[in-house]
Chain A
Amino acid sequence: MDTTLLRIENLSKTFATVKANDNISLEVNKGEVVALLGENGAGKSTLVKSVFGLVKPDSGTITIKGEVIEAGDTAAAIRHGIGMVHQHFQLVPVMSVAENIILGDEPHKGAFISYAEARESVKELSDKFGLDIDPDAIVEDLPVGLQQRVEILKALRKNVDLLILDEPTAVLTPQEIEELLQVIRNLSSQGVGIIFITHKLREVLAVADRIVVLRNGKSVGTATPKESTESSLAQLMIGREVIFRLDKKEAKPGAVVLEIDDLYVKDDRKLMSVNGLSLSLHAGEILGVAGVEGNGQRELVEALTGMRPTVKGSFSILGEVAIGKNPHAIHTMGVSHVPEDREKDGLIATLSIDENLVLNQYKNPPFAKGWIRNIAAVNSYAAKMIEKFDVRTPSGKYPINSLSGGNKQKVVIAREMSQDSKIIIASQPTRGIDIGSIEFIHNQLLASRDSGVAVLLVSAELDEILSISDRIAVMYGGKIVAILDPHDVDRTQIGRLMAGATQ
């Protein structure tokens, strides 16, 4: 019996002048987990979107269970049992969990939706696959991990044979990732074929049956987890060797530059989110703040950068009290900020790369003389930055949105690090970007540290914290629960502290 579920043959797709997919062939068997590995812009998303009918390929065929499916037709893909969980959730935030799950295929009596039946079918699904959820909850009120659960349930409800997961772990906490990997194993044991896109090597090795690596739109190799190591995969992905051990000199911590004293901050729902937090940051060190997301990290960073009012307590920058100051004032005190959400807080989508690079100094000489801007100076400065920070673009005149995630982040980093700042607050600086860019950004942070800048690194990636921090502060429930030395801790110990265990 033929166990081939999906067969992609010679698929190509070109956007404008970029070959996103170049003659790719791929097979997925029943119950097989195929990991699609590659840097950002390697063509992984384009490939799976072609399979799901969201993108119409220029040439090539897609066959599922022996039948050729029509190109560029989502409805046909769904009919053939293909389900997809998108990187950016495709949910309607104001609607309930049940409404989101039944959308497009609603249980009904005549024209009317049968909500009782909808609730029942959600309950049934969540019991069957062990994905617990309240069908009546409004999606926008749920944490990210549960929203993803809704996405998965949505796909499962259509009796999928093939489930595509587009970077499902990018937004999850370590615990949520563990749960998700378990769900994937569960599904594959029930015969569902899975395509799993990621650039996190650890996950690939943990869950995949087969690994397909894409680079620059081409399929460059297939491997099994048994015969691969993280570095062999990374080399395939990037096309050169990657040094995982960073070249890290001993830190030379200096005076305290940021002193946080008993700080209280409320979140968007008006709940106390930072709960009497105290912390000091020294010049010339990288202090990594580890913690499960939602334990007040975001609110802490926003308070420190002046984006969110504080309730109680204070913090001072270079000895000067900075409470109640606006973001611009804090910025001029010598604080650079690499925000968690680069699209929303870090960049202006419609402006060019050049202009985004000078957002923090466009009105200072040489970029402006009084009221008049000096565009030539901006352009020549930006060209230098683009080269120095290795932003992959033909020209700085293009809109920032033409860049991939990793390159966008490089623009933010280039802007924030090129000024003469004393403190860098970096929140999730490598989220959702490729290994090559991550390596580059880590080296930049280390270089800043060596030149005497203090770095506050907030990250949900434990590996990141462990590899570049000089001290690790574990945050739980809005407080720092432990300060650890990265040389003598292990992952499980930090994991326990992050989950709220006492030492």
Chain B
Amino acid sequence: MLNTIKSFNFKSWKFLLSVATVALWIYCYSANMDITNSVVASGMRFGMPLALASMVGIMCERSGVINIGIEGTMLLSGFTGFYVASYSKNIVIGLVIAILTGVLTSFVHAMMTIKWGMDQIIAGTIINILASGLTSFLYREGSTVPNTWPIFDIPVLSKIPLLGASLFSQLGPIQLFGMFLIPAIWVMMNKTRWGLRTRSVGENPGAADTAGINVIRMRMTNVMIGGAIGGLVGGFICLELVGSFSKDFTAGTGFTALALMIFGRWNPLGAFAAAILFGLAQALATQLQIFGVNNVPNQFITILPYVFTILVLAFSAGKVRPPAAAGKPYEKEQS
């Protein structure tokens, strides 16, 4: 025990950062509990779709496919999910349709990139342009979703002082699901056979192939699971978070998610932490706008989270290493 304490590096930046975070939190609480709770809670709400969207990126890139079509996937699924819910008067059917749309969109992406070896950036761009054009064209004003989701407090956890009220209370089902899905992806990626194979396919598909692993199938499956998550996020935003569909509602979320994925080093938990941090920055910016910091124009406050992302990426980018085969279509060597 004493050795553990002795060997712990109190000067490490991680330690200092956590101390600073806790201190800041406690300070904020003592200053104004309600506002702090609402900032943290809305930080989680902003952060969750980003975190889930970056899971799409992780699923694809760890298996060797760069997917910049997350944006389009979410847009299309949000669209179908919302209008199906609106016409069928059932948000559960809407969510299912959103997820199926995500799977279908990513299937198209997977066929283009994995089966036909198309450039992955172009394939993603096609998805994005298609989604934006199609949803704007078919968009009809005035639809609403019939009902809302039940809201949960997680038993026990929501009673934790300081954290409980903001993190574990008043959660919608999708947000709740996300909190379980992300650790589950981490476990699958790092502890299971499926994860080892996925990573091997993303690092050196040749090695996986010679070990008898079907590279194409592995990649297709992963990209489509990613698509399902993308559809879930689209549905989450349109059916739970916002409750409506607006043109191009994603507004760069998919790309921000990719940045957060890199910041989190392709690690689900890392990306989740990055997304929550980003969400908090956004919540804080919103709060500042409400208080109206008089002599600073609003626009400057709105860009804060993005500036923050750029800074973080700039400082951490040097050390990151993406999966070695990400972006490279796999073809059996013919020599």
Whether A92 sits at the interface, judged by CB under 8 Å, is yes
Beta-carbon nearest neighbor of B333 in chain A: A54
A113 and B332 contacting across the interface, CB-CB below 8 Å: no
A103 and B335 contacting across the interface, CB-CB below 8 Å: no
Q: How far is the CB of B119 from chain A (nearest CB, A)?
A: 15
Q: How far is the CB of A95 from chain B (nearest CB, A)?
A: 7
B203 and A95 contacting across the interface, CB-CB below 8 Å: yes
Find B199's partner among A55, A86, A95 (CB 8 Å cutoff). A95
Known: A15-B334, A94-B203, A95-B203. A112 touches B210 (CB 8 A): no
Chain B residues with CB under 8 A of A91: 204, 207
Q: How many residues of B contact A (CB 8 A)?
A: 26
Q: What is the bound-complex CA distance between A95 and B199, given in angstroms?
A: 9
Q: What is the bound-complex CA distance between A112 and B195, given in angstroms?
A: 9
Find A93's partner among B204, B211, B214 (CB 8 Å cutoff). B204
Chain A residues with CB under 8 A of B191: 112-113
B324 and A103 contacting across the interface, CB-CB below 8 Å: no
Contact with B along A438-480 (1 / 0, CB 8 A): 0000000000000000000000000000000000000000000
B212 and A90 contacting across the interface, CB-CB below 8 Å: no
Beta-carbon nearest neighbor of A52 in chain B: B210
Q: What is the bound-complex CA distance between A95 and B193, given in angstroms?
A: 14
Q: How far is the CB of B8 from chain A (nearest CB, A)?
A: 24
Chain A residues with CB under 8 A of B179: none
Interface residues of A in 17-61 (CB under 8 A from B): 45-46, 49, 52, 54-55
B192 and A45 contacting across the interface, CB-CB below 8 Å: no
Interface residues of A in 142-170 (CB under 8 A from B): 154
Contact with B along A62-101 (1 / 0, CB 8 A): 0000000000001100100000101010111111000110
A103 and B194 contacting across the interface, CB-CB below 8 Å: no
Whether B200 sits at the interface, judged by CB under 8 Å, is yes
Q: How far is the CB of B334 from chain A (nearest CB, A)?
A: 6
A111 and B207 contacting across the interface, CB-CB below 8 Å: no
Find B207's partner among A52, A92, A105 (CB 8 Å cutoff). A92
Whether A252 sits at the interface, judged by CB under 8 Å, is no
Chain A residues with CB under 8 A of B200: 92, 95, 103
A106 and B196 contacting across the interface, CB-CB below 8 Å: yes
Q: How many residues of A contact B (CB 8 A)?
A: 31
Chain B residues with CB under 8 A of A102: 196
Beta-carbon nearest neighbor of A13 in chain B: B334
Contact with A along B39-55 (1 / 0, CB 8 A): 00000000000000000
Known: A15-B334, A90-B206, A93-B203. A113 touches B212 (CB 8 A): no
Beta-carbon nearest neighbor of A20 in chain B: B335
Beta-carbon nearest neighbor of B206 in chain A: A90
Whether A104 sits at the interface, judged by CB under 8 Å, is yes
Known: A55-B334, A111-B193, A113-B192. A104 touches B203 (CB 8 A): no
4 tightest CB-CB pairs across the interface, nearest first?
A: A104-B211, A90-B207, A75-B212, A111-B192
A-B contact pairs, 11 of them (CB 8 A): A15-B335, A92-B204, A93-B324, A99-B196, A103-B211, A103-B213, A104-B212, A105-B212, A108-B193, A111-B192, A113-B196
Q: Which residues of A contact B (CB under 8 A)?
A: 15, 45-46, 49, 52, 54-55, 74-75, 78, 84, 86, 88, 90-95, 99-100, 102-106, 108, 111-113, 154
Contacts A78-B212, A90-B204 aside, 11 further interface pairs with beta carbons under 8 A come to A15-B335, A46-B335, A49-B333, A90-B210, A91-B207, A92-B208, A100-B207, A103-B197, A103-B211, A112-B191, A113-B196
